[in-house]
């Protein structure tokens, strides 16, 4: 049975959840995420962690027909977009040129009143910033992250004539905890990952010919008011072998760390496994692993962090994927080699990376 709203608010806002320790999730093992077979590409298309927004403001890169504000939470760090309107739509202002193969990731925290909310990707007019129709644009895809009360996960590809649906009750969204959601779109196929498993895999969920260019979230249920952050859209499935062996350089955005930490997160399994396979197929190759950071914080500390992260990547490749230690060197560049301006969250996300350089 659900708690009352007043009791939940006391628990949620005043008492840190047992899942967390000092603001960080308890450590999970990389090996437990073997179903995470996606490999993020080498280009970030959109990123927002709301760090550029003042607490209490509506975020600058979004628009809505309801209400919302940026907040902080006691159970986890960072700025969080609280979508707290009634039956409201929240749209990214800028159009996004989605390729056929891309990955969306975001972090979600919800309270005990949460049942579901909706992520919609659609093909719409690039000059219209927000479409409040239930089925917006010419074609689209709806994905519902749900609590156990809402049924887990649902998806629906649509156009004017078709509904292509899928559902799963596996690993629903948990209240009072950090939920890291990963969605991999590959042509017409939709894969969703959560809590160490692939929770939904629909091979023909998207209507043929759909070209996404808009993203929005919707809170149709007046009680579902989620907190969102770290929304990232990146290309997917780079040709790792060609990039590393032929071109001599691979940039990876698929190796994840908590802010300020050097421990490789288990969501990195797919990217590391892909790199390890290339190394095994090319035993004569030597590779330098180089960590990079954004410019937040002290320059010397960032340099040290980048070096420790590179060492951590090397250790996982050897320990978990049986890579040959003699093939791997490590280094760190800190914040000294940015790919983009550090003036925006998206630019910082592009600068936080791991590079693999053929020697």
Catalogue all structural domains in the chain, each as residue range(s) with its CATH number. Answer: 5-236 (2.60.120.200), 240-358 (3.30.1330.60)
Q: Which residues contact 329 (CB under 8 A, 6 or more apart)?
A: 286, 287, 288, 289, 359
Region of residue 44 (phi > 0: left; psi between -120 and 50: alpha; otherwise: beta): beta
Structure tokens at 104: 């969306």
Asked whether the beta carbons of 123 and 137 are under 8 A apart, the reply is yes
Residue 355: per-residue pLDDT:
97
Closest CA relative to residue 235, chosen from 42, 38, 37, 36:
42
The pLDDT profile of the chain, 359 residues, written as one tens digit per residue, is 444 444 444 344 334 443 333 334 446 778 889 999 999 999 999 999 999 999 999 999 999 999 999 999 999 999 999 999 999 999 999 999 999 999 999 999 999 999 999 999 999 999 999 999 999 999 999 999 999 888 899 999 999 998 999 999 999 999 999 999 999 999 999 999 999 999 999 999 999 999 999 999 999 887 889 999 999 999 998 889 889 999 999 999 999 998 899 999 999 999 999 999 999 999 989 999 999 999 999 999 999 999 999 999 999 999 999 999 999 999 999 999 999 999 999 999 999 999 999 99
Alpha-carbon gap, residue 230 to 239, rounded angstroms: 26
- 159-163 CB contacts, 8 Å cutoff, 24+ apart: 159/207, 159/210, 162/207
- What are the phi and psi torsion angles at 353 (to 5°)? -155, 165
> By CB neighbour count within 10 A (0-12 exposed, 13-18 middle, 19+ buried), where does 358 fall?
middle
Closest CA relative to residue 207, chosen from 188, 223, 220, 221:
188
Asked whether the beta carbons of 189 and 203 are under 8 A apart, the reply is yes
CA 125 to chain centre: 26
Q: Residue with structure tokens 């080498």?
A: 42
Between β-strands 69-71 and 214-219, what pairing exists: parallel, antiparallel or unpaired? unpaired
Q: What is the side-by-side order of every strand in the sheet holding 287-292? A: 249-252, 353-358, 287-292, 328-334
Residue 217: per-residue pLDDT:
98
Closest CA relative to residue 60, chosen from 87, 88, 84, 79:
79
Q: Encode 324-349: b = buried (16+ Cβ within 10 Å), e = exposed.
A: eeebbebebbbbeebeeeeebbbbbb
Alpha-carbon gap, residue 217 to 318, rounded angstroms: 40
Residue 27: per-residue pLDDT:
63
Structure tokens at 226: 């989620």
| Count, residues in the chain | 359
Residue 40: per-residue pLDDT:
93
Residue 30: per-residue pLDDT:
87
Residue 205: per-residue pLDDT:
97
Region of residue 319 (phi > 0: left; psi between -120 and 50: alpha; otherwise: beta): alpha
- What are the phi and psi torsion angles at 295 (to 5°)? -95, 5
DSSP for 5-57, written as a single string: HHHHHHHHHHS--TTEETTEEPP--GGGGTT----EEEEEEEEE-STTSPTTS
Distance of CA 50 to CAs 55, 229, 305, Å? Answer: 9, 7, 23
Residue 93: per-residue pLDDT:
98
CA 174 to chain centre: 17
Closest CA relative to residue 313, chosen from 280, 348, 259, 354:
354
């Amino acid at each position: 049975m659900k708690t009352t709203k007043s009791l939940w608010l006391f628990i949620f806002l005043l008492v840190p959840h047992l899942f967390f320790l000092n603001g960080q999730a308890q450590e999970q093992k990389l090996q437990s995420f073997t179903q995470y077979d996606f490999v993020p590409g080498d280009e970030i298309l959109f990123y927002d962690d709301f760090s550029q927004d003042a607490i209490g403001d509506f975020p600058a890169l979004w628009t809505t027909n309801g209400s919302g504000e940026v907040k902080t939470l006691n159970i986890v760090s960072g700025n969080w977009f609280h979508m707290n309107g009634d039956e409201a739509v929240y749209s990214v202002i800028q159009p996004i040129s989605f390729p056929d193969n891309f990955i969306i990731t975001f972090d979600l925290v919800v309270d005990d009143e949460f049942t579901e909310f909706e992520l919609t990707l659609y093909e719409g007019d690039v000059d219209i910033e927000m479409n409040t129709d239930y089925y917006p644009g010419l074609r689209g895809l709806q994905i519902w992250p749900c609590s156990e009360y809402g049924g887990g996960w649902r998806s629906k590809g649509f156009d004017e004539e078709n509904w292509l649906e899928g559902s799963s009750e596996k690993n629903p969204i948990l209240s009072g905890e950090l939920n890291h959601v990963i969605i991999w779109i590959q042509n017409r196929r939709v894969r969703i990952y959560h809590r160490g498993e692939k929770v939904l895999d629909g091979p023909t969920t998207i209507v043929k010919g759909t070209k996404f260019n808009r993203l929005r979230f919707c809170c149709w249920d007046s009680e579902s008011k989620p907190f969102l952050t770290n929304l990232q859209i990146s290309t997917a499935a780079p040709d790792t072998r060609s990039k590393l062996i032929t071109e001599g350089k691979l940039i990876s955005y698929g190796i994840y760390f908590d802010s300020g930490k050097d421990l490789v997160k288990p969501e990195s399994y797919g990217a590391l496994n892909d790199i390890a396979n290339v190394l095994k197929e090319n035993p004569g190759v030597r590779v330098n692993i180089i960590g990079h950071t954004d410019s937040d914080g002290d320059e010397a500390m960032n340099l040290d962090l980048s070096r420790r992260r590179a060492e951590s990547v090397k250790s996982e490749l050897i320990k978990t994927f049986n890579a040959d230690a003699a093939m791997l060197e490590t280094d760190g560049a800190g914040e000294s080699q940015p790919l983009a301006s550090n003036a925006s969250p998206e630019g910082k996300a592009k600068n936080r990376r791991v590079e693999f350089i053929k020697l």
